[in-house]
Structure 1
Amino acid sequence: MIDGLAVNGLSKHFGGLQVARNLTLSLPGGARTALIGPNGAGKTTFANLLTGVLKPTSGTILLNGKSIGGLSEAERVRAGIAKTFQITNLFRDLTVRENIRLPILEREHRTKKVFCRSDGTPEIEFEIVQLLRDLELTPLADKPVRGLAYGQQRLVELALTLASRPKILILDEPAAGVPSTESHLIVEAIKRLPADLSVLIIEHDMQLVFEVANRIIVLVNGAILMEGTPEEVVANSQVRELYLGGGHD
């Protein structure tokens, strides 16, 4: 069985407009891969194809050797594909702990016990404590989300995503909107992710990309221009001209 995600010949057309062109790539277990490219390159389209928001015109997506093409968005989450978003989507009046509890209860089909404490479900409370510790959110556990700095809110969102126990984690511009003084929180959190988790980072912050990714895929006009190590990408003259040199996404 193939470990991780395998995409073969993935294409997407909207009428005569082709937004994804024969995309073929793999995310093996433990991968730390970044997807970069200029505005309109098709990065968001690709992520939406992986998560089931969009259906491909052609091609296959395999998770651990099994096709997930027929699965809905919710079914793909349950199968192990999870995605964060460019804008935080949290319950701002709840505490950090209460926010993290929600997806765990949903995963365990215990949504009627949203505000239950450890005397009711000790295994769930233990998992919350672990996530808080892993993302260094313990001091903020009982603070309402609305009072947190934006970088801290992004960490809470990451905790919620990890609570679904994904096999493939898609980080959609994890540093978007985060002040430069807080961006190190995102970098450090990504570095601490479980070693066996496959991570795809969609990001325009090249400093973050070079700090956390060991493979980079460059997407241009819906097609893969190249894939390689950070060193190989930097050395490619087309990439420097089309993306790195322009500095825009």
Structure 2
Amino acid sequence: MTSGLRIRNLSKNFGGLQVARNITLDIPTGARAALIGPNGAGKTTFANLIIGALQPSSGSIHLDGKDISQLGEAARVRAGIAKTFQITNLFKDLSVRDNIRLPILEREHRTFRFLERHDGDAAIEAEVEELLADFRLLPLANRLVRSLAYGQQRLVELALTLSLKPRILILDEPAAGVPSSDSHLIVDAIKRLPTYLSVLIIEHDMKLVFEVASRIIVLVNGAVLVEGTPEEISRDLRVRELYLGAGHG
């Protein structure tokens, strides 16, 4: 596979403690994959290895055929890997529209223009409006972020991350803290993500995982226990015993 993310024999040691063990995975272009596992399984470590927050002890990571294993976090963002809640924090005293505009200006090295007229660049404003529309935020565009419900703030964070134009998007517990009555906002937003985007969801909410993922990867003790379709995972007795039966992860 040359398109998408290709991970081979990825391992990470902290002294004598091995927290990632020979992980081999493919996340093709357009994939909707989910990473699940019990607490302490190594999900956060694995995500940090992909985004470059941690460097692997061994193994390789290729993005669209290019070895990115030794790139730092900022370089991987530029290469096309983004993780929600990694790059941006919301400015709660600014409007939704201003929050979305800022990372676009930063991406274009034009943050100085934020203090100018807001309609000073038609292309940037068109991109802001498109993101607002994609995440159904147009009715909220002029509201201060602090006035939004938490689920709505999560949608703003998703829009911010998409403004970086990633090719691989890691959603780190996108439903965490969102009331169950608003979780459909997150599910609908994930379903509407562009088809060219590869998505890896790290999530405890199994209902969300089974609703949006076409492949599920189960991580236990830093290693892949099993990978398969939602149907295959739901039937796997090891998964039931080690994870699903426990009711949390």
TM-score scaled to structure 1, two decimals?
A: 0.97
SS of the residue 2:181 aligns to: coil
Shift of 1:89: 2.5
8 Å CA contact 1:98–1:115 kept in 2: the answer is no
Alignment size in residue pairs: 249
Partner of 2:203: 203
Q: Which runs of 4+ in 1 moved over 2 A?
A: 115-119
- Amino acid in the other structure paired with 1:126: A
Do 1:95 and 1:141's aligned partners in 2 also have CA atoms closer than 8 Å?
Answer: yes
CA distance in 2, matches of 1:238, 1:142: 49
8 Å Cα contact 1:34-1:209 kept in structure 2: yes
1:26-80 alpha-carbon deviations (Å, 9 max, x no partner): 1100000000000000000000000110000000000000011121111110110
1:151 is matched with: 151
Q: Which residue does 1:93 correspond to in 2?
A: 93
* RMSD (CA atoms): 1.4
Which runs of 5 or more structure 1 residues have no equivalent in the other structure? none
C-alpha distance in 2, partners of 1:222/1:70? 20
What does residue 60 of structure 1 align with? 60
Q: What is aligned with 1:187? A: 187
Structure 2 residue runs without a partner (length 5+):
none
Deviation at 1:119, TM superposition (A): 3.7
Deviations 1:128-165 (A, max 9, x none): 00000000000000100000000000000000000000
Q: Distance in 1 between matches of 2:52 and 2:163?
A: 20
Q: Which amino acid aligns with 2:62?
A: L
Stretch deviating more after TM superposition (65-74 or 231-240):
65-74
Alpha-carbon distance between aligned partners in 2 of 1:50 and 1:77, rounded to the nearest angstrom: 11
**Which residue of the partner structure matches residue 72 of structure 2?**
72
CA distance in 2, matches of 1:67, 1:8: 11
1:129-144 equivalences under 5 Å are 129-144=129-144
1:217 matched residue in structure 2: 217
Name the CA distance, whole Å, in 2 between partners of 1:115 and 1:210. Answer: 44
Q: In percent, how many aligned pairs have the same letter? A: 72
Query: Residue in 2 aligned with 1:112?
Result: 112
What secondary structure sits across from 1:29 in the alignment? coil
Aligned counterparts of 1:114 and 1:48: Cα–Cα separation in 2: 31
Query: What amino acid maps onto 1:148 in structure 2?
Result: L
Partner of 2:47: 47
